[in-house]
Structure 1
Amino acid sequence: MSGIANGIGAGELVGARWVKAKASDGIGECIMLAKIGESVAMSNSRDPEGPALIFTKGELSAFLDGATKGEFDWMTD
């Protein structure tokens, strides 16, 4: 998609439907995702108008696979 690149303001992604995990604590500590064409945008709920990172489906799939397998658990210790 032209005009959409990493760092674009999340609020500039017109039509984005942001979703977050049901386990989010509701005090602004959530990672939000939105499907943007063939890509996925990721944003931080603490800064809803802040920058969004744009990932391909393959990149997100690899990340989720690693998260499911516990490869990043050490970051929350």
Structure 2
Amino acid sequence: MDRGYPGLPDRIYNGMPAKELGTEGWRKPWSGGNGGSCVEAMKLRDGRVALRQSTDPDGPALIYTSREIETFIQGAKAGEADFLLT
């Protein structure tokens, strides 16, 4: 679980500038044919997950617990987020 990314700040909080989390470790698990605009995710050392917008990598990072992410993904797989597509 601990990726050990060097240089991460001691205090990681919701809405912090994503650039403070560095460039290493970000992934694009939800990338598609949308011209490169996608959500990027990083698993933090403490198990939380940071999300940022790929077109604004210096913008705010949204920080979620692993349970929050798990619940969201399960709900999306079950169709509970389909309303976002219409």
Quickly name the TM-score band, shorter chain normalised: 0.7 to 0.9
- TM superposition shift of 1:13: 0.5
Query: 2:31·2:39 contact (CA, 8 Å) conserved in 1?
Result: no
- TM superposition shift of 1:42: 0.5
Does residue 30 of the first structure (1) align with residue 38 of the second (2)?
A: yes
Query: 1:16·1:36 contact (CA, 8 Å) conserved in 2?
Result: no
Match of 1:47 in 2: 56
- TM-score scaled to structure 1, two decimals? 0.86
Structure with bigger strand share is: 1
Match of 1:59 in 2: 68
Q: Specify every segment of 5 or more residues in structure 1 that has no aligned partner in the other structure, as ranges.
A: none
SS of the counterpart of 1:47?
Answer: coil
Q: Which runs of 4+ in 1 moved over 6 A?
A: none
% same residue: 38
- TM superposition shift of 1:45: 0.8
Match of 1:8 in 2: 16
- TM superposition shift of 1:14: 3.3
SS of the counterpart of 2:40?
Answer: strand
Does residue 70 of the first structure (1) align with residue 84 of the second (2)?
A: no
Q: What count of residue pairs does the alignment treat as equivalent? A: 77
Match of 1:4, as an amino acid?
I
Q: Specify every segment of 5 or more residues in structure 2 that has no aligned partner in the other structure, as ranges.
A: 1-8
Superposed CA RMSD in Å reads: 1.9
- TM superposition shift of 1:15: 6.1
